[in-house]
Amino acid sequence: MTKKRILSVVGARPNFMKIAPILLELDRRYGHFDSKLVHTGQHYDQAMSDVFFHELGMKQPDYNLGVGSASHALQTAEIMKRFEEVCRLEKPDLVVVGGDVNSTLACSLTAVKMLIPVAHVEAGLRSFDRTMPEEINRLVTDSISDLLFTTEISGNCHLKAEGIPQEKIHLVGNTMIDSLVRFSAELSRNGGRPRVNALADAGFYLATIHRPANVDEPEQLAKVLDILLSASDGLPVLFVAHPRTRERLRQFGRDERFVEIQGEIGEVRRGLVYLLPPLSYLDFLYTMSRATAVLTDSGGIQEETTFLGIPCLTLRENTERPITVEVGSNEIVGLDRKRILACLRSISAGRWKKTAVPPLWDGKAAGRIVDILESW
């Protein structure tokens, strides 16, 4: 039997956790697949990229396109140009892309124009907010993909409404949760991060904010910072600052109650927000699993907190992951300061909603995906 050649694409931090379980499953079935990995370099520094290969047990990429940061148009165009050369060399039978970043859009477009089939992992998610670059990436990628792997039933409904044939759509679960399940034993260990354990005993809020709508305009960023400072009056806030957010803080200035931390977290106290650099995957998961609540605008964190049962407040007006609100711990709160503080009081008082794990979020999504690839 001739092995099918598959190129899997990663580019930004969220992609690693989604694609790593699929790569492991493809390698496990080596007799069926010749699997190679392409890293576009959309996220390129050690904290946002290299550390994930080590922690997730991913092989080093067969190709690193080294694109780096740029405007949406320039970055997308550069990825397309460089990925086209890889496809000419490899002649893959299938390109696998995940999520909704520029690398997802660029590589799927390139492949389809070269008549190479595309599989989209995490298909069908919709915020219905076209001011979000990710929404455009999702819509275009789904419209040209041959296999669409969904994480929740809303994805199936959206794709059907958009005219995608039923035979292309497969509800498989969530590969990001596969990664979390794989390292669940690590999260239950008390060793290795004693400082976080000590913080958890006293309680803390964890925050991560990076979307352009929240950080690119001074007025919006000021609202976010005011919310975090107000929240810190209840419990200390650990603010894991994305490089994009950190740059905006440098540009616009910040209150003196934002304390920079580069190394070990020392004693923390209420009324202060502690700025942390990007954490590795395992360090972030461990810290999140011990937080009293999480304040975020990240899609993936909405999913991870739902699985872990950690209260999550999403500082956006919408979510493309409605299952996290319907059965999970997530609540969409926008930048409504009064509502957010009321939610935090409810959480601290133990009055948060009961949660459940969504269907098929069981750590076996990658196996279901590769089963479908084999039959396809």
Is 210 noted as a catalytic residue in this protein?
yes
Q: How far apart are the first and last CA of the chain?
A: 15
CA distances from 364 to 139, 150, 178, 307 (A): 26, 13, 6, 14
* Complete DSSP assignment for 198-265: HHHHH--EEEE---HHHHSSHHHHHHHHHHHHHHHTTS-EEEE--HHHHHHHHHH---TTEEE--SS-
Distance of alpha carbon 81 from alpha carbon 86, whole angstroms: 9
Distance of alpha carbon 357 from alpha carbon 229, whole angstroms: 31
Instruction: Tell me phi and psi for residue 95, to 5 degrees.
Output: -110, 130
Catalytic residue, candidates 32, 39, 43, 210: 210
> Whose CA is closest to 93, among 111, 80, 107?
111
Tokens of 173: 């679960």
Cβ neighbors of 53 (< 8 A, separation 6 or more) are 16, 59, 60, 61
> Whose CA is closest to 98, among 18, 167, 31?
18
* Complete DSSP assignment for 1-25: -PPEEEEEEE-SHHHHHHHHHHHHH
Q: Which residues are catalytic?
A: 210
